[in-house]
Amino acid sequence: MEQIHAQRGTQDILPADAGRWQTVEAVMRGEAEINGFGEIRTPVFEDTRLFQRSVGETTDVVQKEMYTFEDKGGRSVTLKPEGTAGTVRAYLEHGLSNEPMPVKLYYATPCYRYEKAQAGRLREFHQFGAEMFGAALPVADAGLIAFAHSLFERLRVKNLVLKINSIGCPACRAEFTKALRAYFTARRDRLCETCLSRLDRNPMRILDCKNPECAEVAKGAPSILNYLCPDCRAHFGQVRENLDAVGIRYEVDPTMVRGLDYYTRTVFEFVSGDLGAQSTVCGGGRYDGLVEQMGGKPTPALGFALGIERLLMIMAAQKVEFPAPQTCGLYVASVGGAAQKEAFRMAHKLRGCGVAAACDEVGRSLNAQMKYAGKIHARFTLVLGDDELASGKGTVKNMKTGEKTKVDLKADLEGQFAAISSEAEDGDLTF
Ligand code: ATP
Ligand code: MG
């Protein structure tokens, strides 16, 4: 029979790697709570129009990358390419806008984009994201950036560059768009098809084009920073002052616009040299117009999203150490049918007390059971045979040190085992 393989651009996360995922997710959840964010979980698929309206018709995501299909009821649905749109929809749908501001939400979610799959660029990937509604002050921008920054610090990721920029508000962007259109029109013969179509509708998108020739042309384009209105200029200045106040270093990158249409004012990215071509691990910014655009009342808002696969790639390249996975605490080996049942009974009882206990489930000889216990890195073993059953006495062996401790099989085994294993406690690595 033909074997079916995983889809291009998707990844299986096997137990050997799942521990890393659990570690980074636990750090993210912990940091989110410290920063006052509560978790939101939204559906994987949504009405296609949600993304068209929010992410923007002229973006790569909407023009090229969405997983869109008709369901059996004839509705156009799309697998979420990012987390902000669904979060804003849910925020409005459930009246979270009536709660005291700011409303702070985080998520960890799979995302789907039909992309050319390569290292760090998948079709199913995972984002950790945070969104904040109702906070207009520049200190909120700095606070959100500081939150993302703290995730990397906690995870011991090094050498990230934080790039920030302001892309202004619709008022200052109108003049800028005119200047950009003039600049790119004069160089239109060097632009790709997609960018030609953007020239009329949204020339700012050209600045984010991945086509090398377009990127080359974009290098000489006018800078948005020369077009900011006084309010946007002041806002950006204060974001920087707040970052300075907490010692977070950044570079101002006047060409950065980010890939989604909804951003206003502050945009930022954390970039790594350890990622190859896909260098951005986290991106975000302010999107003051989006909530209103989605049918809510005008609401300042901002957020970021961090790609978990790219984060793990950086951590692997930097050889960041992870805590050792939980291994078997006690392997209860057995010889003979009666002992096997007793081993199972003990293992079950110990598991009920939170001990990772195991017993033979495949019919191995005693010798093979002991070898297996070594392979799964069991910390302790206990052998049950006719003698042990008859005498009610057994011996727990520390597999690392070889140290042996007598136990009374008829008495409180959990208590005896707890005493043995707490004495042998080795300092575990934690984040
Ligand atoms: P890029 O410029 O690399 O295409 P983007 O601007 O499309 O990224 P965002 O929409 O800002 O990315 O998503 C936030 C983060 O999600 C990215 O910084 C990245 O870490 C991650 N990400 C985005 N697309 C992918 C993908 N196809 N595969 C893996 N991670 C991704
Ligand atoms: Mg992209």
Distance 278 CA to ligand 2 centre (A): 9
User: In this predicted model, what pLDDT tens digit does every residue of 116-154 receive, in sequence order?
Assistant: 999 999 999 999 999 999 999 999 999 999 999 999 999
pLDDT for the residue numbered 135? 98
* Token couple for 153: 């610090």
pLDDT computed for residue 320 by the predictor = 96
Q: Could you identify the atom of ligand 1 that is nearest to the CA of residue 307?
A: 20
Whether residues 261 and 389 fall in one domain: no
Query: Which ligand 1 atom lies nearest to the CA of residue 123?
Result: 27
3-class DSSP assignment, residue 358 = strand
Q: Whose CA is nearest to atom 3 of ligand 1?
A: 278
Same-domain check for residues 50 and 162: yes
Q: How confident is the model at residue 212 (pLDDT cuts 50, 70, 90)?
A: very high
Cβ atoms of 237 and 252 within 8 Å: the answer is no
What spacing in Å lies between the alpha carbon of 307 and ligand 1's midpoint?
A: 6
pLDDT at position 409 over 70 = yes
Confidence of residue 406 (pLDDT cuts 50, 70, 90): very high
pLDDT tens digits along 386-404? 999 999 999 999 999 999 9
Tally of structural domains, the chain: 2
Which of the listed residues 294, 317, 340 is the one where a domain comes to its end? 317
DSSP 190-240: GS-HHHHHHHHH-GGGGGG---HHHHHHHTTSPPGGGT--HHHHHHHHHHH
**103 shares a domain with 73:** yes
Does the structure show a pLDDT above 60 at 427?
A: no
Report DSSP state, residue 6: P
Tell me if 184 is assigned to some domain.
Answer: no
Ligand number with the minimum distance to the CA of 123: 1
DSSP per position, 99-139:
SSSPEEEEEEEEEE-----BTTB-SEEEEEEEEEES--SHH
Nearest CA to ligand 1 atom 5: 259
Q: Do 283 and 343 fall into the same domain?
A: no
Query: Residue 425: what pLDDT?
Result: 64
CB 180 within 8 A of CB 198: no
Reported confidence tier of residue 426, pLDDT bands at 50, 70, 90: low
Regarding whether 259 and 383 lie in a shared domain, the answer is no
C-alpha dihedral, 211 to 217 to 223 to 224, nearest 10° = -40
Give the closest residue (by CA) to ligand 1 atom 22: 307
C-alpha of residue 290 to centroid of ligand 2, in Å: 20
83 lines ligand 1 (CB under 6 A): no
> How much is the average pLDDT of 10-21?
95
**Ligand 2 mean position, distance from CA 338 (Å):** 61
What is the per-residue pLDDT for 428?
52
Judged against a pLDDT cut of 70, whether residue 180 lies above it is answered with: yes
Scored b (16 or more CB within 10 A) or e, 388-397 reads: bbeeeebebb
Bridge partners (DSSP) listed for residue 110: 126
Query: What residues form DSSP beta bridges with 270?
Result: 162, 282
Q: How high is the pLDDT of residue 285?
A: 97
Torsion angle of alpha carbons 244, 248, 254, 255, nearest 10°? Answer: -170
If asked whether residues 256 and 395 sit together in one domain, one would say no
Query: What is the rounded distance in angstroms from the CA atom of residue 358 to the CA atom of residue 244?
Result: 54
**For atom 14 of ligand 1, which residue has the closest CA?**
305
Ligand 1 neighbourhood includes 82 CB (under 6 angstroms): yes
Check residue 430 and give its pLDDT: 64
Question: What is the Å distance from ligand 1's center to 82 Cα?
Answer: 9
Q: Are 363 and 409 members of one domain?
A: yes
pLDDT tens digit sequence for 35-71? 999 999 999 999 999 999 999 888 889 989 999 999 9
- Rounded Cα–Cα distance for residues 247 and 281 (Å): 21
In a domain, 6, yes or no: no
Model pLDDT for residues 245-265, shown as the tens digit of each residue: 999 999 999 989 887 778 899
Q: What is the pLDDT of residue 161?
A: 97
Residue 108 sits in a domain of what CATH number?
3.30.930.10
User: Distance between CA 410 and CA 287 in Å, rounded?
Assistant: 66
Contact, 224 vs 230, CB < 8 A? no
Find the CATH number of the domain harbouring 347. Answer: 3.40.50.800
Residue 102: domain span: 15-169+229-317
Question: Which residue has its alpha carbon closest to ligand 1 atom 26?
Answer: 121
Pocket test residue of 310, 311, 312 for ligand 1, highest count of atoms within 8 A of CB: 310
Would you list the DSSP string of 288-311?
A: TTHHHHTTS----EEEEEEEHHHH
Model confidence over 269-324: pLDDT tens digits?
Answer: 999 999 887 789 999 999 999 999 999 999 999 999 999 999 999 999 999 999 88
The β-bridge partners of 384 are: 334
> Do the domain assignments include residue 192?
no
Question: Does residue 348 surpass a pLDDT of 90?
Answer: yes
Q: Which amino acid is at 256?
A: M
Whether residue 337 sits in one domain with residue 287: no
Q: Report the candidate in 60, 402, 87, 425 with the shortest Cα–Cα distance to residue 206.
A: 60
Same structural domain, 305 and 241: yes
Using the 3D structure, point to which of 263, 284, 317 is the last residue of a domain.
Answer: 317
Joined tokens for residue 354: 């939170």
Q: Domain boundary at 287, 317, 347, which?
A: 317
